[in-house]
Structure 1
Amino acid sequence: MSSALEAARARRSWSKVTDAAPSHEELLELVAAAGRVADHSSLAPWRLIELRGTDREKLGRAIAKAEGDKHPSSKPLRAPLLIAVVASYRKSGKVPRWEQEAVASGVAHMLSLLLDEAGWGVLWRTGHYTRSKPVAKAHGLKKNEELLGWLYVGGKPPEKREGRRRPVDAARFLTPMPGEKR
């Protein structure tokens, strides 16, 4: 088992995946771990929707409706498993909406790391249609919920060369408080 640091450094997006996918049982274990992100007041302002098989075709029709297209979108068919990431806002006098969305995003990112470490290829897809009525209806979203996108999950294909992301220049993003000298 690798460390969290090694998993984060190795993470990359997989735009092409094979037809293999984790089972529902495997997914439950990873979701339980991903749900441990920091969550002010333990509101759990998130939920995930598992889309497999014909669920993806239903989503393709909803995207087409949102886009005004006559033919279903083939985008949801690019992976055997899609996990819809939903911010499910709770009433709270202490935890603002933006913070609740951050929790849902944190769960999605943690889950993508865990899936990657478990050997699965993952890509987080978004798009303007995530906030459309047809797509919300297809997912059964309630009035207090917003779709943040989908994790596209499948097997990692064999590659001749490993994709590399440029290293992050941490000093560019980690700065002292203004006026402080270091």
Structure 2
Amino acid sequence: MRILVEIYQGIRQVTKSNFIVGIKLNSSDFSSEGFSEDDSYRVIVKMSNLGIDFIEISGGNYERTNFLENSNGEAFFLNFSKKSQVSVNIPIMLTGGLSSQEAMENVVTNEGIAMVGSVRPFVLNPNSPEKMLSGIFEGLKLPHLTTGVKVIDNKLGHGGSSIL
């Protein structure tokens, strides 16, 4: 955590007080020897106490996709984000799996999360924000992509079933 603290403090030393600084942080690597939710939670509390403006929660990695098994297909890290949001006085931003406007609105309106991040819908359809504002956004249905090599797909956790 030391390097993160030093980077943050260095940014604050060379920027104006109204410069917004946030961090994207894994909720967990989902690996027994990796970054855990407890580790992440300690970082969130520390960074909040130092004055960071917001923290974006994501998680997992391309080899460890088991977090998908515990989700409803959207808002992969919702439970961890909710726990974090009630514990700090800064906005928590949830990223991961949000592909429909309904899910995004639900997370902010009903789940108490301050902000959401959603990359795929906006990268794959740059008109998505405009469609949302117009009320005609239908969400994004992504095809299940595999490498076609069963050994690799199994290693990536895709093993023949859709993860998107």
Using the size of structure 2 for normalisation, the TM-score is 0.27
Higher strand share: 1
TM-score norm. by structure 1 comes to: 0.26
